[in-house]
Amino acid sequence: MPVIKINNLSKSYGEIHAVRNVSLEVAKGSIFGFLGPNGAGKTTTINILCTLLKPTSGTASIAGYDCNTESSGVRNHIGIVFQDTTLDKDLTAYENLLFHAYLYSVKRKDRKKKIEDSLEFVGLYERRHDLVKKFSGGMKRRLEVARGLIHDPEVLFLDEPTLGLDPQSRSNLWEFITKLPEKQGVTVFMTTHYMEEAEVCDQIAIIDRGSIIAQGTPNELKKSIGGDIIYIKTSDNEKAASDIEKLLNLKPTIKNGEIYVTVERGDTCLPELIRTLGESVLSVRLQRPTLNDVFLQLTGKQIRDVEISAGATLKENVRSHRRKFGRD
């Protein structure tokens, strides 16, 4: 069941087309990653979904409420952690959340427990009476996540939740984020610049210059750019390559004293290869594409010169990129 539905959404500022014909659906209880370079249109899309901005055209709905015409319905069902911190530094952690609970009309009898539970969830309960100005960047971000959860939203928007944090605080914050669907029953819609973070997402959409250029699970996206590569060195590469081709029906290539072969699943193919080649194997290594490779192929500098068609599939876009740069 999709909890977020976006249909042909566009937003222009005069000549600037910040968002162009974006359509996507986000399943309830999932973590959805919205990735894209600076200025791609991520925050603009989030602002439209959160009813802070009107689209130029197209529609969007959250939990069945139209983002354009039913803003209070939408606002009651979402929480948001903005790209820039919006905490009151002169209040304590508890007071920040209390203020938010007032704004969202959380019932008086529920307030204390909800605030304490949220603080517990992000590991800040012990620090609840400290002023926010004494918090580290990571603690502030965690507090903002807690604040976004006070009114039991169905969807939590996280715009660059880990930007500017050190690796330890990032992984710490991620621990909480990944638990959100299961523990709090929340659907997470997040943007990030860190590709390795996007690995935890159930679904990913890559946006560039306002258009969605790829969508899928992290594995689907990685597979689409070519699969795993196995590199093997043997005592007789010519014979080994011919055996691989004949016996395993693969297409090996010899380069720089190594055989390399592209396969769909490196982890299952590798033992088979070693069994086939026996004792002639001197070394093996497996290279798997990362989300970073996907992102660079699609939004990297070289691809700027290629006409990317928003309607084309990821494979078609990658193919056109490869044709252009003679890699096919």
Q: What is the DSSP letter of 278?
A: G
What part of residues 58-87 is at the interface with ligand ATP (CB under 6 A)? Answer: 83
Count of residues near ligand ATP by CB under 6 A: 12
**Site for ligand ATP contains 16 (CB under 6 A):** yes
For residue 17, the minimal CB distance to ligand ATP (Å) is 8
For residue 160, the minimal CB distance to ligand ATP (Å) is 6
**Site for Mg ion contains 162 (CB under 5 A):** no
Which of 33, 41, 148, 218 lies at the binding interface for ligand ATP (CB under 6 A)?
41
**Site for Mg ion contains 43 (CB under 5 A):** yes
Neighbours of 179 (CB within 10 A): 13
Our CB check for ligand ATP shows the closer of 203 and 237 to be 203
Our CB check for Mg ion shows the closer of 19 and 240 to be 19
**Site for ligand ATP contains 42 (CB under 6 A):** yes
Our CB check for ligand ATP shows the closer of 80 and 124 to be 80
Nearest Cα residue to 303 out of 288, 320, 315: 320
Neighbours of 289 (CB within 10 A): 17
Interacting partner of 41 out of Mg ion, ligand ATP, none (Cβ under 5 to 8 A depending on kind): ligand ATP
Torsion of CA 309, 212, 19, 52, to 10 degrees: 170
Q: How many residues does the chain have?
A: 328
Buried b (16+ CB within 10 A) or exposed e, 203-219: bbbbbbbbbbbbbbebe
For residue 100, the minimal CB distance to Mg ion (Å) is 22
For residue 259, the minimal CB distance to ligand ATP (Å) is 41
Stated as kind and residue range, the H or E segment containing 167 is: helix 167-179
Distance of CA 74 to the CA centre of its chain: 22
201, 189 contact by CB (below 8 A): no
Binding site residues, Mg ion, CB under 5 A: 42-43, 83
Binding site residues, ligand ATP, CB under 6 A: 13, 16, 18, 36, 38-44, 83
